[in-house]
Amino acid sequence: MTQLKKRPSIEYDAVIKKNNVFILLLLGLSIIALLSMLMAVCIGTVKIPPEMSYKIIAYKLFHLDIDNVISQVSPSHMDIIWQIRLPRVIMSTVVGAGLAMCGTVMQASVQNPLAEPYILGISAGASLGATFSILIGGASGVLFGFGTAFWAFLGALGASIFVMVLSGIGGRMSTVKMVLSGSIASALFIAISNFIVYISNDAEGIRNVTFWTMGSLAAAKWDNLALPVIGVTLCCLYFLFQSRILNTLLLGEEAAITLGIDLTKIRRRYMVITALITGLIVASCGIFGFVGLVIPHVVRGLVGSDHRRLMPGSILVGAIFLTWADVLARIILKSGELPIGIITALVGAPFFMYILFKQSFDFGSK
């Protein structure tokens, strides 16, 4: 019996040690995320020296006039840093974190490593909502500035329900049924969006809508930053404390229930929250795919499936990834900028293929 007592404490020490290593890793990732943001502010088609950029930010934030910076800087540089680049960098960080978080949560709640807002057509639903609100005019009126985001949320929620119901028909939700339902949802919602665009005859609106479908962070401004930042931050905090439940969900429906998780309630709640985040993100920067797919997978490879590690890791790596993806989008072309959706798809599609092959192999053996 004494031996029984002894072993567990060794186990506990090992876990503590592992946790310490992980905390160091998180700290490192946080620092990288912060540095990425600082570096991203200095990169762009207009060359502004880094120290100048930081002085501008310091001045704007704290009214610190280091080395008389205001007299040396041209107003246009000031605007580029403060009005264009900084909001955009913050937006990319937040959106990256939000998408990675959504992917992680969706993968756990349907126990499927392929779940992600874009692949499941949730983004397309959000984009339909946004298109509807811009071209048919839901954006004005009682909901003030929240109109587009609200409609995007409704669209995302509608798409989530659509996909869940469709892939649940006839018993268990299989990977194949889910991915097929996702493509059906995507095709359907994009077709309806396009139809609305086609009949609306509104040049300004059409330009806006084209922007949704390829994704761009160019529209980030201080004004439209608040909603995504607050939304994503709150939801990240919420899900960081849901790790235990998320872990249990990975075990499958029956096991989760026998471990005391009220699956129906939890799933419904998670679905609404991920739809909300997807809606907010799509409303502010359009749809672009695969971030929610790739990031959780890479991080799972690094730290394992335990959400106490996976969730914070995914959020940080997602933020870092999208910050740099957007830098790339801004500088890769001399003539202008590339929609970020192209970059994420170029990275994500081959990855998707890889997982699909690996998965089908796994499913074959079961």
Partner 1 sequence: MDLVLNNINVKLGDKNIIQDISLAVARGEFVGIIGPNGSGKSTLLRTIYRIIQPNSGSILLDGKNLKDVKLAESAKKMGVVGQFNTINFDFSVFDMVMMGRTPHKSLLGSDTPEDYEIAMEAIQKVGMEKHAYRSFSTLSGGEKQRIILARALAQQPQLLILDEPTNHLDIKYQLQILSIVKSLGIGVLAALHDLSLAAMYCHKLYVLKEGNVVASGVPNEILTPELVRDVYEIECDIHENPDTGYLAITYYPTCRHA
Please answer whether residues 239 and 308 qualify as being in contact, where contact means their C-beta atoms are separated by less than 8 angstroms: no
Nearest distance, CB of residue 248 and partner 1, angstroms: 5
Q: Which residues bind partner 1 (CB under 8 A)?
A: 4-5, 7-9, 11-12, 15, 111-113, 241-242, 244-245, 247-248, 250-255, 257-262, 300, 304-306, 359, 362, 366
Kindly write down the DSSP assignment for every residue of 51-100, as one continuous string: HHHHHHHHHHHH---GGGHHHHS-HHHHHIIIIIIHHHHHHHHHHHHHHH
Nearest distance, CB of residue 87 and partner 1, angstroms: 34
* Residue placing its CB nearer to partner 1 in the complex, 104 or 193: 104
Nearest distance, CB of residue 123 and partner 1, angstroms: 23
Nearest distance, CB of residue 341 and partner 1, angstroms: 28
Query: Which residue intervals of 137-262 are DSSP H helices?
Result: 147-168, 175-200, 203-214, 222-240, 243-250, 253-258
CA distance 21 to 342: 36
* Residue placing its CB nearer to partner 1 in the complex, 206 or 355: 355
Sign of CA dihedral 349, 354, 357, 358: negative
Angle at 291 between CA 285 and CA 293, to 5 degrees: 140
* Residue placing its CB nearer to partner 1 in the complex, 102 or 256: 256
Nearest distance, CB of residue 258 and partner 1, angstroms: 4
Per the structure block, which two tokens stand in for 226? 């608040």
| First-to-final CA distance of the chain | 39
* Residue placing its CB nearer to partner 1 in the complex, 142 or 169: 169
Please compute Rg for the chain using Cα positions.
22
* Residue placing its CB nearer to partner 1 in the complex, 204 or 254: 254
* Residue placing its CB nearer to partner 1 in the complex, 78 or 255: 255
What is the four-CA torsion angle of 295, 108, 150, 200, rounded to 10 degrees? 70
Residue 361 burial (C-beta neighbours within 10 Å; 0-12, 13-18, 19+): exposed
Nearest distance, CB of residue 265 and partner 1, angstroms: 9
* Residue placing its CB nearer to partner 1 in the complex, 8 or 336: 8
* Residue placing its CB nearer to partner 1 in the complex, 111 or 194: 111
Please answer whether residues 325 and 89 qualify as being in contact, where contact means their C-beta atoms are separated by less than 8 angstroms: no
Nearest distance, CB of residue 361 and partner 1, angstroms: 12
Nearest distance, CB of residue 308 and partner 1, angstroms: 9
| Closest residue by Cα to residue 149 from 165, 129, 164 | 129
